[in-house]
Amino acid sequence: MDIDALTDDDRKQLAKDLAAELDTGLYGNRAVLSRRQLLSIAGGSAGVAGLTALGVDPATAQSAAGQVGTEASPEDVYAYNLDVQGALQRDLDAGGQAISNVGSLSTTEGRITGSETITINVPTDKATISDAFVTASETIPPRSGVGVLINVESGHEIQEQIQVLNGTYGHITIQSEDPLVNLSPGFSDGTIINIENSKAPIIDFMIEAQGNNNKSGIRVFNSVLNIKEGSGVTNSGERGLFIHGNSVVDALNTDFSNATNQCIRVTTASTANIQGVNATGGEDGLFASRGCIVSANEADFSNSTDRGVDCRQSQVAMANSTVNGTGDNAIRAVRGGTVIAPSSTINNCTATEVIDSQYGATVVVPLCDIDNPSSTVFFCRDGSRINATDGTITNSGAGEDLRILRGGIMSVNNTTVGGAAVSDSDANVSLNTIQSQGIIFR
């Protein structure tokens, strides 16, 4: 076909025929939308500005609004304040009640729902993830029924910080083709993904920071965030995941390992679901403070150079977790903090105290296996409690595996040391005897 020989009418018809065959998404600086997407965006808060930004002719959008779907491709419509001009061809069913053949039917508010998705490829469509996010957030309303998938193509490196501020972006998902997306060696923005006062986009990709950032991998302040399984940030230059300021984060089976400082920090009245997380190899595996609630069952906080779990004025539930090879405490709870870690495994810790509860804190570690501790296993002091019943301590050789001080209360019923029941020789006080240091129940 000789394109130059086509008339204007022929070109227009060819364009229409080609558009009908294209998948929805961005093509260069233009967007191909389904009729449902078009109606959703045209009726949403983006309006004409949003359509123009996507390369859609507003006049065309208005003319398309006269029809929803076709006989071959019907669309569901949910509407309020629907104005029907002219006579209905037949009665319509509305929740079991027939809408009769009337000339006008009124309601108040119109809404089109759907599950369409627009894909923005990085860097083919937009140069950076940040650019793609700005385009998606400014042009696709969160309640339009249109989802946005930001797809990070193979080989792309993160060049600049991704800022998520003051909005609702839960309809946006960021994913990658590669199992790891590298942070560019030239990255200089500190935090990689910074989220404030927002319902954040869904994070569905893994970042290899390579230590090139000097702050957090992901920072979440006063926001809601969902991080999908297998995603996260490894080798962050400071913290892997920093959650604070009344935030809520869901990050099951994610990876925030090998952070220079804390793999995960949760503070100031925040809630984190990090069950199954890999938080190994940092200075601290988990640091929780100031009124937070953390669910960390089946997590791994091993090989921390300092503490595996440090809990202050917060609650951490970490059943069936692993805390091996820490340089300091495997678990420390202070100032009213509570750690519940039944059936956990704690081996090869080199701290002066493997589990330390102090200043009104509580540590609950029944059914735990603790092997090869370098010194005292349980240290309970200053009005704190430790429940360590039905556990096993092997290869200790410390002499004083159990210590209480200044009103500590400890229970070690049915716990064994080296295969034998706990005895007075394993503690710094006589068992089952109330004294100034507290009491150890056996």
Q: Residue 27's pLDDT is what?
A: 59
More confident residue, 35 or 430: 430
Question: Is the separation of the CB atoms in 285 and 323 below 8 Å?
Answer: yes
Is residue 39 included in any domain, yes or no?
Answer: no
In a domain, 440, yes or no: yes
Examine residue 404 and state whether it is found in any structural domain, yes or no. yes
As a whole number, mean pLDDT of residues 216-237 equals 97
Q: What is the pLDDT of residue 250?
A: 98
Q: Report strand pairing: 92-94 vs 97-99.
A: antiparallel
Q: What is the mean pLDDT of residues 69-77?
A: 58
Q: Work out the burial of residue 76: count CB atoms within 10 Å of its CB; fewer than 13 is exposed, 13-18 middle, 19 or more buried.
A: exposed
Kindly state whether residue 334 falls inside one of the protein's structural domains: yes
Greater pLDDT, 8 or 215: 215
Position 426 in a domain: yes
User: Does the pLDDT at position 108 exceed 70?
Assistant: no
CB proximity list for 126: less than 8 A, separation 6 or greater: 120, 132, 135
How far is C-alpha 152 from the geometric centre of its chain's CA atoms? 18
Q: What is the pLDDT of residue 115?
A: 56
What average pLDDT score do residues 269-285 get?
Answer: 98
The whole-number pLDDT of residue 212 equals 87
Residue 377 lies in a domain: yes
Asked, for residue 22, whether it belongs to a domain, the answer is no
Residue 69 clears pLDDT 70, i.e. is over it: no
Domain count for the chain: 1
Q: Are 230 and 253 in contact (CB under 8 A)?
A: yes
String of DSSP letters for 216-229: -SEEEES-EEEB-T
Give the domain extent around 388: 323-442
pLDDT, average across residues 10-19: 66
Helix (H), strand (E) counts: the chain? 5, 39
Does 388 score more than 80 pLDDT?
Answer: yes
pLDDT of residue 97: 47
Note the pLDDT of residue 104: 43
Residue 340: pLDDT band (50, 70, 90) is very high
Q: Cα(380)–Cα(354) distance, rounded to whole angstroms?
A: 11
Residue 222 within any structural domain of the chain: no
Closest by CA to 404, choosing from 388, 420, 421, is 388
Residue 219 pLDDT exceeds 70: yes
- Pairing state between β 146-152 and 97-99: unpaired
pLDDT for 61 equals 46
Task: Compute the Cα dihedral for 8, 14, 17, 22 and give only its sign.
Answer: negative
> Residue 46 pLDDT more than 50?
no
